[in-house]
A and B are shown apart, each in its own frame.
Chain A
């Protein structure tokens, strides 16, 4: 790890550098491994639990490990394990899609504000400030309630409350890159603005966007589960938050209904956070030395 050691070993090709830096962070590797397991579970859920996860398959409130039910059954006799497997699809899908929407919109707002500056910057940043002031979870609740709960409304609500920090981040990156020589050279050569933004500036600002986006997925999954817990999820789609919410009333008699889906949320979010930190180490090596 020392400079002397690095000097004697020939530098590996660039694409390996990323992986080596990422792999140096052990907890990030553990997170990545677990995340793969969750993705695998989501992928094979329809194979290992082909039945509808809402189907009533056993007696209600069977404890874990009774018969075919690894995690027991819930208040109505639904298989908790099947719900967890299908819930993985929901959590990952909503987390990723909501984040993509939020990142796209945040990058657009921050990019325009940072690139053009002046009154455009003022206006867009004022809008961002309003959205940052609003208590985001209550706003998300309101949006879903008004649009009626569905997959789309949950994704929109999470995206609407998640984009402001990204806009600020992208704006800061754009401001620092806008006046660099390689960008100014293209501007002087008459490259249109949209091309400068997309080809010259954005690729250079992509690392922090990826890091922030990966951490945003974790937050989005937490928000989705909280909405579903309150009964604001899509009523036709199984999700971890819904499972915990449904088991709440029988906590005294059947603790497992709430416990296992919650563990699934915790581990998945933790894994994504670890991967996000690993990405940060690998993509922003200069920042690493500080902490």
Chain B
């Protein structure tokens, strides 16, 4: 059995390689599609440059080579972790990204836990109270959150909870001027995290609630439930021991798939709340027309999605022994 699983993992990793390559090639195409190249940017930064100097620079960077040669060089660069240089920040793209990884990780992990946890709970509640007012209220809430633009929810939460009630700060990740340390700092960050995490989780919360409800109802109609009932197992035990466990599986798969969408959502939420993560960096690079940086973030988030999907697939084999390896 462990052998079969190992083979399965190896096969999934091999399958991911062409996708990774395709993303690198796509990245290269986008870089080439953009008006102007790195030398134009450099010349622009320097103020003025003679055509001879620019040609010399192009030769130095290999930009005068035919496209396929440039592509091979580009793939080599990415493989060695060289994502180019951000001329705005005067720093390698990689270093900039690593700097901002922490805040985004805090935001996304909190959001996933919140959305999956509360979503599963609400979906369960709706399914157990099927066609009662509780079910209706939960379903309507899910429907509305599903249709709400993230940036708008964020702004409305700021209006109500920061400006009018003064409960939470309007932006940032911590009170830098306070120089908190230890638990005080953790508490401060958590205080800043509340509104962004709620905003980002609303949409996914709605998704998981609907999914969990549908999944519970589907499992409730299965033969094994009838069998359990025929054996005289109590209803509460059927719901929690039998149905719930099986209903959780599709929800977990979705949690993996949604990471891709959540990265997009974090661009919006970080911009609204001034959360100093990758999303805000993407927004800044957009305005500074810092394409190298934007492409670096794009590539890394695609890789992240690939890795998360892989992990969920592997996790799934542990959770559901029926799965074909």
- Count of chain B residues near A, Cβ 8 A: 50
- Count of chain A residues near B, Cβ 8 A: 44
Q: Is B261 touching A137 in the complex (CB atoms < 8 A)?
A: yes
Q: Is A218 touching B147 in the complex (CB atoms < 8 A)?
A: yes
Q: Is A270 touching B265 in the complex (CB atoms < 8 A)?
A: no
**Closest beta carbon of chain A to B141's beta carbon, Å:** 12
A269–B152 Cα gap in the complex (Å)? 13
A290–B213 Cα gap in the complex (Å)? 12
A127–B23 Cα gap in the complex (Å)? 10
Given contacts A133-B19, A137-B263, contact A230 B155 (CB under 8 A): no
Given contacts A230-B271, A258-B155, A265-B152, contact A138 B264 (CB under 8 A): yes
* Selected interface stretch from A3-11, A68-76, A93-101, A139-147: A139-147
Residue-wise, chain A 122-165 has the 8 Å CB interface mask toward B (1 for contact) of: 00001101101111111111110110000000000000000000
A248 part of interface (Cβ distance < 8 Å): yes
Residue-wise, chain B 135-149 has the 8 Å CB interface mask toward A (1 for contact) of: 000000001101111
B27 to A, closest residue via Cβ: A142
A245–B272 Cα gap in the complex (Å)? 10
A225 to B, closest residue via Cβ: B149
**Closest beta carbon of chain A to B284's beta carbon, Å:** 11
**Closest beta carbon of chain B to A180's beta carbon, Å:** 27
The interface residues of chain B lying within 8 Å CB-to-CB of A241 are 149, 151
Q: Is A146 touching B34 in the complex (CB atoms < 8 A)?
A: yes
The interface residues of chain A lying within 8 Å CB-to-CB of B26 are 130, 134
A184 part of interface (Cβ distance < 8 Å): no
* Selected interface stretch from B1-9, B65-73, B92-100, B296-304: B296-304
Q: A136-B260, A270-B143 are in contact. List 16 more A-B contacts (CB 8 A).
A: A126-B18, A126-B22, A130-B22, A134-B260, A135-B264, A135-B305, A137-B263, A137-B268, A138-B282, A145-B286, A225-B149, A229-B149, A244-B155, A245-B151, A252-B163, A262-B156
A249–B53 Cα gap in the complex (Å)? 43
**Closest beta carbon of chain B to A72's beta carbon, Å:** 15
A129–B143 Cα gap in the complex (Å)? 28
Residues from 277 to 325 in B contacting A, C-beta threshold 8 Å? 282-283, 286-287, 289, 291, 294-295, 297-298, 301-302, 305-306, 309
The interface residues of chain B lying within 8 Å CB-to-CB of A137 are 261, 263-265, 267-268
Report the 5 A-B pairs with minimum CB-CB distance, sorted nearest first.
A137-B264, A262-B152, A270-B147, A269-B147, A135-B263
B282 to A, closest residue via Cβ: A138
Given contacts A142-B294, A226-B150, contact A133 B302 (CB under 8 A): yes
B159 part of interface (Cβ distance < 8 Å): yes
A266 part of interface (Cβ distance < 8 Å): yes
**Closest beta carbon of chain A to B254's beta carbon, Å:** 14
Q: Is A134 touching B302 in the complex (CB atoms < 8 A)?
A: yes
The interface residues of chain A lying within 8 Å CB-to-CB of B283 are 230
List, sorted by A's number, 18 A–B pairs whose CB atoms are closer than 8 Å: A130-B26, A133-B260, A133-B302, A134-B23, A141-B282, A142-B295, A145-B289, A226-B150, A230-B268, A230-B286, A252-B163, A258-B159, A259-B159, A262-B156, A266-B147, A266-B148, A274-B143, A291-B214
A248–B170 Cα gap in the complex (Å)? 12
**Closest beta carbon of chain A to B187's beta carbon, Å:** 26
B30 part of interface (Cβ distance < 8 Å): yes
A232–B283 Cα gap in the complex (Å)? 11
A222–B309 Cα gap in the complex (Å)? 25
The interface residues of chain A lying within 8 Å CB-to-CB of B149 are 222, 225-226, 229, 241, 244, 262, 265-266, 269
The interface residues of chain B lying within 8 Å CB-to-CB of A138 are 263-264, 267, 282, 297-298, 301
Q: Which B residues have a C-beta under 8 Å from some C-beta of A? A: 18-19, 22-23, 26, 30, 33-35, 143-144, 146-152, 155-156, 158-159, 163, 214, 217-218, 260-261, 263-265, 267-268, 271-272, 282-283, 286-287, 289, 291, 294-295, 297-298, 301-302, 305-306, 309
Q: Is B152 touching A266 in the complex (CB atoms < 8 A)?
A: yes
Residues from 189 to 218 in A contacting B, C-beta threshold 8 Å? 218
The interface residues of chain A lying within 8 Å CB-to-CB of B264 are 135-138, 140
Q: Is B263 touching A290 in the complex (CB atoms < 8 A)?
A: no
Q: Is B150 touching A146 in the complex (CB atoms < 8 A)?
A: no
Q: Is B214 touching A259 in the complex (CB atoms < 8 A)?
A: no
A134–B22 Cα gap in the complex (Å)? 10
Q: Is B306 touching A259 in the complex (CB atoms < 8 A)?
A: no
**Closest beta carbon of chain B to A162's beta carbon, Å:** 12
The interface residues of chain B lying within 8 Å CB-to-CB of A146 are 30, 33-35, 291
A258 to B, closest residue via Cβ: B155
A225–B150 Cα gap in the complex (Å)? 10
**Closest beta carbon of chain A to B73's beta carbon, Å:** 21
The interface residues of chain A lying within 8 Å CB-to-CB of B30 are 142-143, 146
Residue-wise, chain A 267-291 has the 8 Å CB interface mask toward B (1 for contact) of: 0011001100000000000000011
The interface residues of chain B lying within 8 Å CB-to-CB of A126 are 18-19, 22
Residue-wise, chain A 108-130 has the 8 Å CB interface mask toward B (1 for contact) of: 00000000000000000011011
